[in-house]
Structure 1
Amino acid sequence: SVFFQDIDVDTHYKNYSLGVRKSLDAWSGSQIDLGLVEAAIEYICRNEDGGAILVFLTGWDEISKLLDKLKGNNLLGDPSKFLILPLHGSMPTVNQCEIFDRPPPNKRQACFECLLFYCCRKIVLATNIAESSITIDDVVYVIDCGKAKETSYDALNKLACLLPSWISKASAHQRRGRAGRVQPGVCYRLYPKLIHDAMPQYQLAEILRTPLQELCLHIKSLQLGTVGSFLEKALQPPDPLAVKNAIELLKTIGALDEQEELTPLGRHLCNIPLDPNIGKMLLMGSIFQCLNPALTIAAALAYRNPFVLPINRKEEADEAKQSFAGDSCSDHIALLKAFEGWKDAKRSGNEKQFCWENFLSPVTLRLIDDMRMQFLNLLSDIGFVDKSRGANTYNQYSHDLEMVCAILCAGLYPNVVQCKRRGKRTAFYTKEVGKVDIHPASVNAGVHLFPLPYMVYSEKVKTTSIYIRDSTNISDYALLLFGGNLVPNKNEGIEMLGGYLHFSASKSVIELIRKLRGELDKLLNRKIEEPGLDISSEGKGVVAAAVELLHSQVMR
């Protein structure tokens, strides 16, 4: 779009009418013009033959805004003539399935403005989910806005970005192919040909736009030499800073030592085909007898959130999610309680009603249930779970909220946010990018004051702002016992993450914490070296002391 701004429209398009030149002069590639999209839909409905219309947009915000515009349109807002259906991955399956239904053939209506008769016309407003994943066989017209939200990786700020960007020529071709799958069709591209010609041929390779820690771990497990030198030989080598960030993270979570060699923990994580942080959470859950919550949360983070976004019922859906979270200030606890509620409902034959009333996807919940069994088998294969001993052996603390939050901290560290009170509200700060916001879909989005000083989160992502997704409020003690290495500072306190996190208390309390943490680390290292070690008997006192400290929550 910057390239287009440098074009002299009157010169470059001198063979086109004044109206076209004025439209091109007014066009901006910085954001999608929903008014132009509305006009294109109306043009098709007034001038073209029957057939469904598929509109490609970048996300839910644009879909909902265009939906409102179309409902307020004098022609398109008539529900007897036009069936307008949004399509987004977070919608309930029942809503998504409606797009495949053809409008009833007996609904023949007169359009008196253009003196034509036609069947009720279907208009689907979709993201790139409709680009290749599905085929809507009655689509005759495609409106392509030329953009999609694409994940990229900001290595400087260690940040995933999900921002609208121009698609590739291959994607544009794919979108055009959605028109007329079973009959002739037409594609309207709402961007100049110059933009299309400047598009890359294909989407950027995944190795260049995602964090690399899981890949780096596998490179070490295959003994392919140093990670950096191996990845330099790739057809499209990733940014060296992205590689450095991945190695630093693996060192921080204890998967690599200072010489970049696999630690015992790292070797176990190589056998778990998950992001290393989620894999570590699974191991810690099995070690500290919080196995069921760890399995559920890990499966949901690895696959997808089971909560869905129904059309025009966002407030009710948010309330349902909040009811599962209770006063925990935790998205992870909300999905854990939702899963447990679903299991109870399924046992009593009430699954369908439970999911409908609580805005949950039964398909997603069943897949999470299947993944839990796969993860349990993996833990059994590497010796951390002995199925013959029964589930209760590994779930002594599964209903202990503080212990579950501590396991979350152990897995999600170093994804830590400081919660700083600012009058009647709370501001959130991370080490890399400073101030961040809670994602609007989080149960914590509406919370102004938090009981505990820190938050751990699953993902930090840049969209319209920098958001943290799936967050849990945690105490000092959770971080001190299950977070990073404790480093003494000049003020006789403790620091973490290179001085970003500071903890202070009386000298005796600090000394007790250091000793308890030392004992916990010894126990953890023994268990990782000997997965068959019975912590419930060998380390009973140490774990009990840690649990008691977690329950006190406030440092004195």
Structure 2
Amino acid sequence: MLAANTNMLHPRKIVLATNIAESSITIDDVVYVVDCGKAKETSYDALNKLACLLPSWISKASARQRRGRAGRVQPGVCYRLYPKLIHDAMPEYQLPEILRTPLQELCLHIKSLQLGTVASFLGKALQPPDSLAVQNAIELLKTIGALDDKEELTPLGRHLCTVPLDPNIGKMLLMGSIFQCLSPALTIAAALAYRNPFVLPINRKEEADAAKRYFSGDSCSDHIALLKAFEGWKEAKSRGAEKEFCWENFLSPVTLRLIDDMRTQFLNLLSGIGFVDKSKGVHAYNQYSHDLEMVCAILCAGLYPNVVQCKRRGKRTAFYTKEVGKVDIHPSSVNAGIHLFPLPYLVYSEKVKTSSIYIRDSTNISDYALLLFGGNLDPSQNGEGIEMLGGYLHFSASKSVIELIKKLRGQLDKLLNRKIEEPGFDISGEGEVVVAAAVELLHNQNMR
């Protein structure tokens, strides 16, 4: 907390600041600094594969930075709300980011630069990351198809290296362009890579939540909510009503403009690697952009293996993931107030531990979305169904339905692999029948 006494003739102003103020903000006339000694810091739990955002003691370097905010133009005072014993026990510096974040994007670039095996290269770092964190990153890259079993880049992995995004978000972009859901993929990818456009005033939380639910409609999806909000903003902006639209719907116009700019950058990237031919116009890649089932399937393709099982427990639904078991939906989600979901699974953007283990930005999806656009399909141990995620997800149906799904998935994989190896290949030609069949199956939602 920062307190600034601007002038004895004027009221004293109080500035509340996060740890960003340690290095990014300087207010010349601050006289007093009150340092609580803590900050919310991101860390990575490699065992449970989740990001943690928990209060922790700052480093001595951060304490010095906070003290330095006071007395820029006149003598100042720093009040530290912790004893000297704790200050002396603080680490000298904050943990390096390589030890606090997932490593999949870094691992992908190590492979693209041909620096040898990921583990051996990262082992040479001044402070090497945990071997389990490295293993998790490599396993994820293999799961999404960016690395093969020998830890070499696949054609998909080489494309993902050219997109400066988290590999999951990058894959969603590519899948959106391939399966003609380009505009929704651009919007959702930009929002996930940057920031959610919804704002949440403390004294108007219920109204803000209602506005977000309005955009979501019956989709049970945070991603669809931000997609519809962005489309509404574009329409309002075209008729000169941007300010009113954002104010009424609790949206940040600055964030929406940045998302719009990022969409253009992503489109240029896709054009640069051959997945989009601008001469055809963007409309050529948006045949299914208004088909919500197909959009949710593309989300599944990008966010997999971030999958949650929705299990009914009486009049409520409990949520389970492979790594940590039971989780909760983040209170800011449109799905937080839903007790029973129409479809059996959720895909999510992020799993984070704060006061509880929450999933953020979730979308309700069907069996077929997972089976057609998720990970590898493995025969179940009893031979009567299909498994995914090493047996964590099990799908049962009649033999004829199982065979139909396997054949359709095989045809989709062939199309996808050819498109990835030959970005100029027109999937809407010989692949049109296969994609249309997948769309028809997605509209049926649950397996019978």
Q: TM over 0.5: same fold?
A: yes
Name the SS of the counterpart of 1:294 in structure 2.
helix
User: How far 1:146 sits from its partner (Å)?
Assistant: 0.4
CA distance in 2, matches of 1:159, 1:554: 29
User: How far 1:315 sits from its partner (Å)?
Assistant: 1.2
User: How far 1:124 sits from its partner (Å)?
Assistant: 2.8
The reply to whether residue 444 of structure 1 matches residue 335 of structure 2 is yes
CA distance in 2, matches of 1:138, 1:316: 37
Name the SS of the counterpart of 2:387 in structure 1.
strand
CA distance in 2, matches of 1:207, 1:261: 22
* Deviations 1:134-192, CA, capped at 9 Å, x for gaps: 23344222111100010111111111111100001111111112223332221111000
User: How far 1:197 sits from its partner (Å)?
Assistant: 1.0
Residue in 2 that maps onto 1:343: 234
CA distance in 1, matches of 2:16, 2:214: 31
* Deviations 1:454-491, CA, capped at 9 Å, x for gaps: 00000000000000000000000000000010001133
* Deviations 1:281-307, CA, capped at 9 Å, x for gaps: 000000000000000000000011111
User: How far 1:128 sits from its partner (Å)?
Assistant: 1.6
CA distance in 2, matches of 1:484, 1:311: 40
Residue in 2 that maps onto 1:494: 386
User: How far 1:229 sits from its partner (Å)?
Assistant: 0.5
Name whichever of 532-541 and 127-136 sits farther off: 127-136
Name the SS of the counterpart of 1:404 in structure 2.
helix
User: How far 1:377 sits from its partner (Å)?
Assistant: 0.4
* Deviations 1:236-257, CA, capped at 9 Å, x for gaps: 1110110000000000000000
Name the SS of the counterpart of 1:126 in structure 2.
coil
* Deviations 1:262-299, CA, capped at 9 Å, x for gaps: 00000000010100000000000000000000000000
Residue in 2 that maps onto 1:192: 83
Residue in 1 that maps onto 2:191: 300
* Deviations 1:392-435, CA, capped at 9 Å, x for gaps: 11000000000000000000000000000011110000000000
User: How far 1:546 sits from its partner (Å)?
Assistant: 0.1
User: How far 1:379 sits from its partner (Å)?
Assistant: 0.3
Name the SS of the counterpart of 2:312 in structure 1.
strand
Name the SS of the counterpart of 1:335 in structure 2.
helix
CA distance in 1, matches of 2:403, 2:229: 40
* Deviations 1:42-92, CA, capped at 9 Å, x for gaps: xxxxxxxxxxxxxxxxxxxxxxxxxxxxxxxxxxxxxxxxxxxxxxxxxxx
Match 1:331 to one of 216, 222, 225 = 222
* Deviations 1:20-61, CA, capped at 9 Å, x for gaps: xxxxxxxxxxxxxxxxxxxxxxxxxxxxxxxxxxxxxxxxxx
CA distance in 1, matches of 2:342, 2:379: 26
Give the alignment's TM-score, normalised by structure 2. 0.96
The reply to whether residue 276 of structure 1 matches residue 172 of structure 2 is no
Give the 3 Å change call, closer, same or farther, for CA 392–344 of structure 1 in structure 2: same
CA distance in 2, matches of 1:315, 1:125: 24
Name whichever of 194-203 and 456-465 sits farther off: 194-203
The reply to whether residue 259 of structure 1 matches residue 259 of structure 2 is no
Name whichever of 134-143 and 447-456 sits farther off: 134-143
* Deviations 1:205-247, CA, capped at 9 Å, x for gaps: 0001100000000000011111101111111111011000000
Name whichever of 122-131 and 207-216 sits farther off: 122-131
User: How far 1:130 sits from its partner (Å)?
Assistant: 2.7
CA distance in 1, matches of 2:80, 2:290: 54
Name the SS of the counterpart of 1:312 in structure 2.
helix
CA distance in 2, matches of 1:549, 1:311: 43
Name the SS of the counterpart of 2:225 in structure 1.
helix
CA distance in 1, matches of 2:21, 2:125: 32
Name whichever of 151-160 and 180-189 sits farther off: 180-189
Name the SS of the counterpart of 2:415 in structure 1.
helix
CA distance in 2, matches of 1:263, 1:168: 41
Residue in 2 that maps onto 1:376: 267
Name the SS of the counterpart of 1:461 in structure 2.
strand
CA distance in 1, matches of 2:49, 2:124: 23
CA distance in 2, matches of 1:501, 1:542: 25
Name the SS of the counterpart of 2:15 in structure 1.
strand
User: How far 1:359 sits from its partner (Å)?
Assistant: 1.0
User: How far 1:131 sits from its partner (Å)?
Assistant: 2.5
CA distance in 1, matches of 2:22, 2:339: 40
CA distance in 2, matches of 1:156, 1:490: 27
User: How far 1:538 sits from its partner (Å)?
Assistant: 1.9
Name the SS of the counterpart of 2:428 in structure 1.
helix
Name whichever of 121-130 and 181-190 sits farther off: 121-130
CA distance in 1, matches of 2:20, 2:334: 26
Q: CA RMSD in A?
A: 0.9
CA distance in 2, matches of 1:328, 1:519: 28
CA distance in 1, matches of 2:222, 2:270: 25
Name the SS of the counterpart of 1:286 in structure 2.
helix
The reply to whether residue 552 of structure 1 matches residue 432 of structure 2 is no
CA distance in 1, matches of 2:339, 2:20: 35
CA distance in 1, matches of 2:361, 2:110: 29
Name the SS of the counterpart of 1:535 in structure 2.
coil
CA distance in 1, matches of 2:187, 2:160: 18
CA distance in 1, matches of 2:243, 2:401: 51
CA distance in 1, matches of 2:41, 2:258: 25
CA distance in 1, matches of 2:110, 2:329: 34
Name the SS of the counterpart of 2:429 in structure 1.
helix
Number of positions where the alignment pairs a residue of Structure 1 with one of Structure 2:
436
Residue identity over aligned pairs, in percent, reads 90
CA distance in 2, matches of 1:241, 1:516: 36
* Deviations 1:346-377, CA, capped at 9 Å, x for gaps: 11111111111111111111111111101000
* Deviations 1:321-349, CA, capped at 9 Å, x for gaps: 11111111100001111111111111111
User: How far 1:122 sits from its partner (Å)?
Assistant: 2.1
CA distance in 2, matches of 1:539, 1:152: 44
CA distance in 2, matches of 1:313, 1:222: 49
User: How far 1:311 sits from its partner (Å)?
Assistant: 3.5
CA distance in 2, matches of 1:396, 1:225: 42
User: How far 1:127 sits from its partner (Å)?
Assistant: 2.1
User: How far 1:520 sits from its partner (Å)?
Assistant: 0.3
Name the SS of the counterpart of 1:150 in structure 2.
strand
Gaps spanning 5+ residues in structure 2: where?
1-11
Name the SS of the counterpart of 2:202 in structure 1.
coil
User: How far 1:391 sits from its partner (Å)?
Assistant: 1.2
User: How far 1:537 sits from its partner (Å)?
Assistant: 1.1
Residue in 1 that maps onto 2:210: 319
Residue in 2 that maps onto 1:227: 118
User: How far 1:386 sits from its partner (Å)?
Assistant: 0.1
Name whichever of 134-143 and 373-382 sits farther off: 134-143
CA distance in 2, matches of 1:194, 1:143: 18
